[in-house]
Amino acid sequence: MTNVSKWAVDSGATRHICANRSAFTSYTSIGEGEEHVYLGDSRTTHVLGKGKVLLKLTSGKTLALSDVLHVPSIRVNIISVALLGKVGVKVSFESDKIVMTKNNVFVGMGYFDQGLFVLNISEIINESSSAYVVDSYDMWHDRLGHVNSSYVMKLQRLGLINMHDKKNGKCDICVESKITKKTCYHVESQSELLGLIHSDLADLKQTMSRGGKNYFVTFIDDYSRYTKVYLIRHKDEAFDVFLKYKAEVENQLNKKIKRIRSERGGEYVLFNEYCVREGIIHEVTPPYSPESNGVAKRKNRTLKKIMNAMLISSSAPNNLWGEALLTACFLQNRIPHKKTGKTPYELWRGYQPNLKYLRVWGCLAKVMLPDPKKRKIGSKTSNYMFLGYPEHSAAYRFLVLKSDVIEHNTIVETKNVDFFEHIFPLKDSETPKQSIDNNSDAMCEVLRRSKRQRKETSFGNDFYTYLVENDPTSFFEATRVPDAKQWDKAIRTEIESIQKNNTWTLVDLPKGAKPIGCKWIFKKKYNPDGSIDKYKARLVAKGFTQKPNIDYFDTFSPVTRISSIRVLLALAATYKLVIHQMDVKTAFLNGDLEEEIYMTQPEGCVVPGQENKVCKLLKSLYGLKQAPKQWHEKIDSLLLCDGFLPNDADKCVYSKFENGECVIICLYVDDMLIFGTCIDIVSKTKLFLGSNFEMKDMGEANVILGVRIIRKGDSILLSQEQYIEKLLRKFGYYEFKPVSTPYDAL
């Protein structure tokens, strides 16, 4: 180790420069006069060598600088911002400080001193390189980050490393970390129609079609590659359209479907029993292997590409994807397949298709008015948009854009039309996209800002919010109330928890850094009957002084919804579940802090003889912007590693099934309810949590979020009697005579 010297972060420098030879961990000498450094005043100075420097920052992280020039005559060591940017380190200048991050993770910070931004460094690490020590292949394979064996051997041939053996067997770490999916080998195609049907279901990312459809399902004949597409509203309709498809194709071709291949999705579960009954073999792909259903996947991809091209070329709104997709399938059946050389239509029908009547999708069409709508004087046509081809008709499908006699946005079928294939009406400014209706849902409207005057939400003159607690609001007040001894004991308990958790360490405040403040929050915890359970003191950092992208980068942390708690309690009453409650002591102190944050010593707990020092936070603290996020990440990773799965609707509800038993954890910051089908699995879960965090076992659940839980037989009652009683006492209405139906006095 060497003493710390100043390192200035310079956005104008093009190279890292160090004046101290002993700071280098690796060093290569340069001949005199071979390389120079040009200074700002046009002078030059000699470079004696170059190498690598390791700087340990006050944040605890190490900054590695490569290709650093050794220039003894330089007065201040220089770090180039441009070179840091090339390795992914972002440097932000904020008034009198700098912040370094990499991939949105805090690295270090510095301060402004005498016109320069100086990096906060605790020490310079000086270690000698061991690149030329003769070691085994396994050792060099590990040192090089488990790189491919061919590169390790190439380094040996180049003379950069020495090894006394060669590769021996497989590396378990490489297999675990680099394993890839196996190749899907080609399967022989069928030699007859309906021998094998490929099927897949897809959606358009919640974009509803004009008719309210959200999904489409495809059926592809393996021999001819003839495809049928059905638009559906819900996934469970896939089985219904399969029955429709099966009845149609088997009747038309006078053949039977032999096999059908699909994924393991829930929409195909109903196929199993039906296929067994009908003698059809239902082949399913291996789990998480969509490539095994490659024929259907590639067909869906091709259809989506053609559909997207049609929508873009015609400037049609997204809700017309259904019409475009059906047209894409219609065209694909009439395009030769690369393997067979024939069109799917020809192999399916037995004769070649007629392509003379094809037109450009989305183009303008002048459609003759029907006889009942014709007029003696005036135009005999209306402007329509071409939408495709009907399934069982020789006509065309159109969308009415402009007509005096037919309702706007109506879809019609007719053959009396003249096409203008080079004109796309929706590209004309006179026919905006948002004018097309979507029946039940509005089209993709252009977002606009409302011009209405914003008004404050009012719940009426008789709507109030009351605070009924009378806890101390400051440390000074807590030391002068009648129950000051209880509050002093609560403060000592909080400080002991903080010290036990190694939340901070006392250090001298680095130059340029500014500490944030802290304060005490006092709260009485009550039993269900209203008596005091305990006095609780919480040390809270003044996170409102933190600056975004400097002191914190992300703050989001979910909590369970009260509706989720009510649903779980209803399930507990229905299935007679065991309900226990636990509280995490100083939960936020468990989160690991990534940023470099300094805090003043808490009031009443200043260490004698170290009054001028500050607390460097090693773990998160209540009040910090990122504290909830760090705590949630900590407990979330712990529960996931133990086999718990988060609920899709509420990410703070976790469930786990084990040996036929079920346990559910409902987490609200540091309070948690544990539901179980038996007391054994609940006790096992409590033991697991207690081994990782300092917990308080509160036994059977009584109160959660101020709501009292009362269990009577097979039912569960929820009550806020305590809160209502406090509210009545506060405003002098507790002694009033109760009535069954209150009403306002006239």
Q: Which residues are catalytic?
A: 10
Return d(Cα 688, Cα 443) in angstroms, integer: 52
Return d(Cα 149, Cα 597) in angstroms, integer: 43
Those residues whose C-beta lies under 8 Å from the C-beta of residue 660, and which sit 6 or more positions away, are none
Return d(Cα 654, Cα 662) in angstroms, integer: 11
Phi, psi of 615 (to 5 degrees): -90, 120
The answer to whether residues 329 and 317 touch, using CB atoms and an 8 Å cutoff, is no
Those residues whose C-beta lies under 8 Å from the C-beta of residue 609, and which sit 6 or more positions away, are none
Long-range contacts of 169-177 (CB under 8 A, 24+ apart): 171/138, 171/141, 171/146, 173/146, 174/146, 177/146
Long-range contacts of 299-305 (CB under 8 A, 24+ apart): 299/198, 299/200, 299/218, 299/220, 299/225, 299/227, 299/332, 300/200, 300/202, 300/218, 302/328, 302/332, 303/218, 303/227, 303/229, 303/328, 303/329, 303/332, 304/202
The distance from CA 410 to its chain's CA centroid, rounded to whole angstroms, is 41
Return d(Cα 528, Cα 657) in angstroms, integer: 32
- Pick the closest to residue 615 from 474, 506, 516, 717 (CA basis): 506
DSSP string over 121-137? EEEEE-----TT--B-H
DSSP letter (8 states) at residue 495: H
Return d(Cα 587, Cα 622) in angstroms, integer: 9
**What is the torsional sign of CA 632, 634, 637, 641?**
negative
Return d(Cα 724, Cα 730) in angstroms, integer: 10
The DSSP element (H or E) to which 420 belongs, if any, is strand 417-420
| Cross-strand pairs, 700 | 580
The distance from CA 658 to its chain's CA centroid, rounded to whole angstroms, is 28
Neighbour count for residue 156 (Cβ, 10 Å): 15
User: Between vectors from CA 178 to CA 172 and to CA 183, what angle results, nearest 5°?
Assistant: 115
Return d(Cα 40, Cα 89) in angstroms, integer: 25
End-to-end CA distance of the chain: 85
Return d(Cα 726, Cα 734) in angstroms, integer: 9
Tokens of 338: 């690369």
Return d(Cα 434, Cα 583) in angstroms, integer: 53
Beta strands in 618-727 (DSSP E): 645-646, 653-658, 661-668, 671-676, 695-700, 703-704, 707-712, 715-719
Residues in the chain: 746
Return d(Cα 471, Cα 526) in angstroms, integer: 12
Tokens of 730: 């506060």
Long-range contacts of 59-66 (CB under 8 A, 24+ apart): 59/106, 59/107, 59/108, 59/109, 59/120, 59/595, 59/596, 61/107, 61/108, 62/125, 63/89, 63/100, 63/107, 63/108, 63/119, 65/16, 66/16
DSSP string over 447-466? P----SPP------TT----
